[in-house]
């Protein structure tokens, strides 16, 4: 069991705490860093969290093994560096950084300090996505030719205070910074680093209207192609589809997977549900205790951030952009 501090108790910080507190035998939160302790007092009391306003105090606490950052994106790199310098493992909510250079700084700080670095791409832990990854790695689909992904989440437009979603400094590339990054991460995980992106967006009304669409055509270093879209105001929908020389496999939602192989009928599979956020947090706890590496490698965190930065540039210029690296 590791003890963790959480920095930020907004909606997602609270979700991280609620996913594990009293439910996991691998990780628990013992304190929270907040700007306004009075506003956080009720939640902290329900979850047995000490409160402080100082990140440095939590990072120096000998009872704390790891620090989770659920903070504005523009603060991630400097906070990762500060936590690593204190010798503590660090989990940073996605995106790790807004630029490749920032991601490299964060990764280097953790590497030099000898501490694990985690990041919150929890949709990798969907039971459908775990099986899709197993099939791809096992070679059953043959060489990967093309991948597709889509994530829509109307919850982020109608049920949430928009906050950072309306701030270009914190949320560049419209819906890519929230929903779209999960798809980008999934495609990098399945097909490898991206070489070039060409992104298009449509926003019927100027901000803060949230009904935007982002679509991205991409080429991978492997030679595979890909496309993805994120639609913030559509119904909740998750789809990742891999096409190989021998067959295809498509994850839909958290539990469902369809597979098809040349010469055989397609099959539908449904898997047991998984609390993806708790599963990823417990994988991070395993990394902190040196049981296993965190399932998202530092190299992949850099590759996803580099592709994200290229998407931002492509949306600004309207032209294809090569991914730095």
pLDDT tens column, 108-131: 999 999 999 999 999 999 999 999
Kindly report, residue by residue over 148-191, the tens digit of the pLDDT: 999 998 655 555 555 666 676 777 888 888 889 999 999 999 99
- Specify whether 212 is located in the same domain as 271: yes
pLDDT at 257: 98
Same domain, 185 and 168: yes
Q: Which of 96, 121, 146 is the last residue of a domain?
A: 121
Q: Same domain for 163 and 310?
A: yes
CATH number of the domain where residue 252 is located: 3.30.360.10
Are both 100 and 8 inside the same structural domain?
yes
Q: Are residues 233 and 140 in the same domain?
A: yes
d(CA 127, CA 35): 36
User: Residue 37 pLDDT > 70, yes or no?
Assistant: yes
Residue 98 sits in a domain of what CATH number?
A: 3.40.50.720
For residue 231, the cross-strand partners are 152, 213
The helix-helix angle for 127-138 and 179-191 (nearest 10°) equals: 20
Least confident of 77-81, 143-147, 161-165: 161-165
Q: pLDDT (tens digit, 9 = 90+) per residue, 219-261? A: 999 999 999 999 987 889 999 999 999 999 999 999 999 999 9
Which residue range(s) make up the domain with 300? 123-322
């Amino acid at each position: 069991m590791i003890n963790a501090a959480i920095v930020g108790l907004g909606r997602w910080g609270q979700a991280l705490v609620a996913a594990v507190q009293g439910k996991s035998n691998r990780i628990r939160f013992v304190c929270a860093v907040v700007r306004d302790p009075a506003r956080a007092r009720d939640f902290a009391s329900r979850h047995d969290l000490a409160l402080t306003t100082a990140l440095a105090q939590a990072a120096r606490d000998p009872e704390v093994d790891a620090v989770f950052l659920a903070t504005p994106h523009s603060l991630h790199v400097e906070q990762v560096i500060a936590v690593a310098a204190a010798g503590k493992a660090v989990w940073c909510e996605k995106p790790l950084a807004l630029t490749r250079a920032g991601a490299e700084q964060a990764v280097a700080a953790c590497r030099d300090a000898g501490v694990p670095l985690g990041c919150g791409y929890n949709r990798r832990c969907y039971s459908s996505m775990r099986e899709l990854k197993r099939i791809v790695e096992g070679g059953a689909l043959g060489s990967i030719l093309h991948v597709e992904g889509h994530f829509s989440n109307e919850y982020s437009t109608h049920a949430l205070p928009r906050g950072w979603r309306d701030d270009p400094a914190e949320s560049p590339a419209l819906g890519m910074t929230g929903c779209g990054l999960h798809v980008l991460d999934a495609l990098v995980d399945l097909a490898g680093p991206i070489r070039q992106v060409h992104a298009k967006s449509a926003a019927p009304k100027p901000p803060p209207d949230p009904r935007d669409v982002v679509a991205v055509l991409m080429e991978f270093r492997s030679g595979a192609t890909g496309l993805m879209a994120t639609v913030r105001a559509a119904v909740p929908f998750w789809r990742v589809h891999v096409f190989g020389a021998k067959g295809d496999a498509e994850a839909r939602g958290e539990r469902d997977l369809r597979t098809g192989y040349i010469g055989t009928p397609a099959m539908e599979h449904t898997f047991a549900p998984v609390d993806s956020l708790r599963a990823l947090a417990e994988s991070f706890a395993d990394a902190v205790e040196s049981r296993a590496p965190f399932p998202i490698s530092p190299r992949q965190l850099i590759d996803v951030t580099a592709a994200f930065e290229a998407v931002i540039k492509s949306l600004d210029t309207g032209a294809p952009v090569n991914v730095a690296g």
